Amino acid sequence: MSEAREVLETSEAQIAVHWKEEEYVYPPATFIAQANMTDPGIYERFSLERFPECFKEYADLLDWDQYWHTTLDTSDAPCWKWFVGGKLNASYNCVDRHLAKGKNKAALIFVPEPEDEPHRVVTYQDLYVQVNEVAALLQDYAGLKAGDRVTIHMPMVPELPVTMLACARLGVIHSVVFAGFSGRACGERIADSGSRVLISMDGYYRNGTLLDHKVKADEALQVAAQEGQAVEKVLVWRRFRGQYVSQAPMREGRDAFMDELLPKYRGQRVAPVSMPAEAPLFLMYTSGTTGRPKGCQHSTGGYLAYVTATAKYVLDIHPEDVYWCMADIGWITGHSYIVYGPLALGTASVLYEGVPTYPDAGRPWRIAEQLGVDIFHTAPTSIRMLRKAGPEEPKKYNYRFKLMVTVGEPIEPDVWRWYHEVVGKGQAVIVDTWWQTETGGFLCSTMPALHPMKPGSAGPAMPGIHPVIYDEEGQEIPPGAGKAGNICIRNPWPGAFQTIWGDRERYVSTYYAKYCKNKDSKDWRDWPYFTGDGAFQAADGYYRILGRVDDVINVAGHRLGTKELESAALTVEEVAEAAVVPVVDELKGRAPDMYVSLKPGYAPSKAIEEKVIQAIETIIGKIARPKHVYIVPDMPKTRSGKIMRRVLAAISNTMDVGDVTTLANPEVVEEVRRMVQGERAVATQEGPEDIRRFGEER
């Protein structure tokens, strides 16, 4: 790749950047000709001088029952209120308003995991009928009303968005918990949100197995009860109508099957409740491994306006598209960019039940071919996994993507190029969208018809988002400085979460305290939003994200971005995945330990280990030389596919690996542990704070 480079002179407050600049890749003319956003003037219209009124342009994409009188109310800083005085309903905007022109159009296309089970199309008319009937049930049977919270613990089936939209119709605040989470995690979230009702499902397919899901509901209720929250009703959807696939008993008087209750509500219609713009639409918990989970509270008007506009301009969604986001609805990506954004735009959103590599690595491309998917949205971890399992697979299928999305972690330029050339067949535009659960929608990305792409860089900030990079002392790091720092956003925006549910103090201390200029101020200029990510800005204004600042490895006083090291390891031909963790080193304080897995057809060897070390020394420098390179059969991963660096760090440092039962592949942990520590029993030691916090899932 690049010639050896010296470590830049950086202080403890800064992070050195060793990455070389990548070449631009330009969007094809055919894409530009049909794009929703081709006016470069949008950045001028959303300049800081025009803030906050500029965001009217986004809000105008929605149907309002009543217009707002105040665009941004800062009187309760830093809890910002958008479009105050305005009223609207999210379910009306995602469903009813499309009926006049598109009731017969697909809203959701459900693809079951078993390949012989046909896909199911839910039209906008179907969605309207189902959302109304479920809303009637929630209102009359479960006694739910505006402002109540409901926990929804459901897999990727169309009944999930139906249930969310039914809540939204009533102004009920939904809290969707990722189905892969344990009953305990669900129970903690039920308690934190104060939900009286849990909506669950009996089972679903994952990796060829029909999983029992209802058992988790029982555990969840126990945990919630221990935390003082009683749940009165458990509503259970069934994967197959009239057939119960769970072993868990139904508790008389508490549990009920949705398919048995629903016929009583046939034909019922519920008028959408006109909600204040700043009323909470949902809670989304970020999954910390330590401390209580944080319930990010998102608003109705600001959130919906922001995700609708960004889905339209960045994802380039038109009503005619077939759009497939492979994320799970249990994460923010699914909320914003499977459900609310795409449906507000009246498009067809594909929901896939299972894992992308089931039964083989060709599955996503067969789905794309069969449904005519033209916008494809996924994460680097899936891209790496699909490349590892079937590098040539996409070529066998006849699909055509106009746009592809990557989200969730920095993408290595090498992986980006495979995505572009092989998956996108060199024709699709890629948007690398950087954002967070807390931010509701995208913060940085290229505008696909306006900017060239740069592999590995998210791109410029979104219109109306004004980032600033601070070092630890609060000094601004200018573009092109070759140094990274803490990326913050100078101004509020409508998609931002409103607070942490029930814990305003934690909201302020986590996200606003660090660089606040005056904590009594009601002026938004005094309250930069702290993202917790490290980033640097190139001279051309593009942002490149290094990952969580907590994940930085401090080697002999040099703060190394983990992503850079992993990126370097991935330039080695044989390497499929790489994860780096800090290991205690007597001399340097911390040293990097590198874990890699190989592409199929390669066997572990000393030579490959050597190549990885060589690559890191050449690309980053000798300072970053890994203490060990471990070639592992697979990485321990969460159910959403993120590599569990926390677990690897614990293994490297002979610390307790903690609870790994919720991982996608818990058996790998023991295998890797044995490989690193040998057969001896695990010596559990506390370990230093930075290593304990390293790689914390959020």
Q: By CB under 6 A, name the binding residues for ligand PRX.
A: 286, 332-333, 407-410, 432-437, 458, 531, 533, 545, 547-548, 698
Question: Residue 300 is encoded by which pair of tokens?
Answer: 């109705």
Between 80 and 511, CB nearer to ligand PRX: 511
Contact 54, 464 (CB under 8 A): yes
Sorted by sequence, the CB contacts under 8 Å of residue 220 that are 6+ apart come out as 151, 153, 183, 184, 186, 187, 190, 198
302: three-class secondary structure by DSSP: helix
Alpha helices in 485-576 (DSSP H): 504-511, 562-569
Measured in whole angstroms, the distance separating CA 545 from the mean position of its chain's CA atoms is 15
Contact 123, 106 (CB under 8 A): yes
Measured in whole angstroms, the distance separating CA 49 from the mean position of its chain's CA atoms is 31
Between 390 and 547, CB nearer to ligand PRX: 547
Q: How far apart are CB 442 and ligand PRX at their closest, in Å? A: 8
In this structure, how many other beta carbons lie within 10 angstroms of the beta carbon of residue 421? 13
**Terminal Cα-to-Cα distance of the chain (whole angstroms):** 33
Between 123 and 436, CB nearer to ligand PRX: 436
Between 87 and 189, CB nearer to ligand PRX: 189
Q: How far apart are CB 455 and ligand PRX at their closest, in Å? A: 12
Q: How far apart are CB 697 and ligand PRX at their closest, in Å? A: 8
Distance CA 54, CA 75 (A): 20
Q: How far apart are CB 642 and ligand PRX at their closest, in Å? A: 8
Distance CA 402, CA 416 (A): 16
Distance CA 124, CA 24 (A): 40
CA angle (89 as vertex; 119, 69 as ends), nearest 5: 145
Contact 545, 487 (CB under 8 A): yes
Q: How far apart are CB 286 and ligand PRX at their closest, in Å? A: 6
Between 119 and 698, CB nearer to ligand PRX: 698
Extended strands (E) in 290-393:
294-299, 322-325, 348-352, 375-378
Extended strands (E) in 369-463:
375-378, 403-407, 429-433
Between 341 and 390, CB nearer to ligand PRX: 341
Give me the residues paired with residue 244 across strands.
none
Q: How far apart are CB 444 and ligand PRX at their closest, in Å? A: 8
Q: How far apart are CB 698 and ligand PRX at their closest, in Å? A: 5
Q: How far apart are CB 291 and ligand PRX at their closest, in Å? A: 16
Contact 383, 368 (CB under 8 A): no
Between 148 and 551, CB nearer to ligand PRX: 551
Q: How far apart are CB 535 and ligand PRX at their closest, in Å? A: 8
Between 96 and 188, CB nearer to ligand PRX: 188
Between 155 and 547, CB nearer to ligand PRX: 547
Q: How far apart are CB 534 and ligand PRX at their closest, in Å? A: 9
Between 91 and 193, CB nearer to ligand PRX: 193
What pairing do the DSSP bridges indicate for beta strands 149-154 and 173-178?
parallel
Cα distances (angstroms) measured from residue 24 to each of 43, 235, 384, 413, 455 = 20, 51, 22, 12, 8
Q: How far apart are CB 24 and ligand PRX at their closest, in Å? A: 18
Between 424 and 547, CB nearer to ligand PRX: 547
Distance CA 114, CA 588 (A): 51
Between 496 and 629, CB nearer to ligand PRX: 496
Distance CA 495, CA 438 (A): 9
Percent of the chain as helix, strand, coil, to the nearest 5: 30, 25, 45
Between 464 and 547, CB nearer to ligand PRX: 547
In this structure, how many other beta carbons lie within 10 angstroms of the beta carbon of residue 159? 22
Q: How far apart are CB 159 and ligand PRX at their closest, in Å? A: 24
Between 435 and 529, CB nearer to ligand PRX: 435
Between 280 and 441, CB nearer to ligand PRX: 441
Quote the radius of gyration of the chain (alpha carbons, Å).
24
Distance CA 508, CA 228 (A): 26
Taking the alpha carbons of 55, 57, 63, 64 in that order, is the dihedral positive or negative? Answer: positive
Between 123 and 562, CB nearer to ligand PRX: 562
Residue 207: left if φ>0, alpha if ψ -120 to 50, beta else—which one?
left
DSSP assignment of 169-187 equals HHTPEEEEEETTS-HHHHH
Q: How far apart are CB 14 and ligand PRX at their closest, in Å? A: 18
Distance CA 359, CA 355 (A): 9
Q: How far apart are CB 409 and ligand PRX at their closest, in Å? A: 5
Between 132 and 446, CB nearer to ligand PRX: 446
The residue nearest ligand PRX at its CB is 437
Alpha helices in 113-267 (DSSP H): 124-140, 159-170, 183-193, 214-226, 258-261
Amino acid 85 reads G
Question: Residue 230 is encoded by which pair of tokens?
Answer: 């009683």
Q: How far apart are CB 234 and ligand PRX at their closest, in Å? A: 27
Q: How far apart are CB 454 and ligand PRX at their closest, in Å? A: 13
- C-alpha dihedral over 531, 532, 536, 540, to 10 degrees? -10
Q: How far apart are CB 435 and ligand PRX at their closest, in Å? A: 5
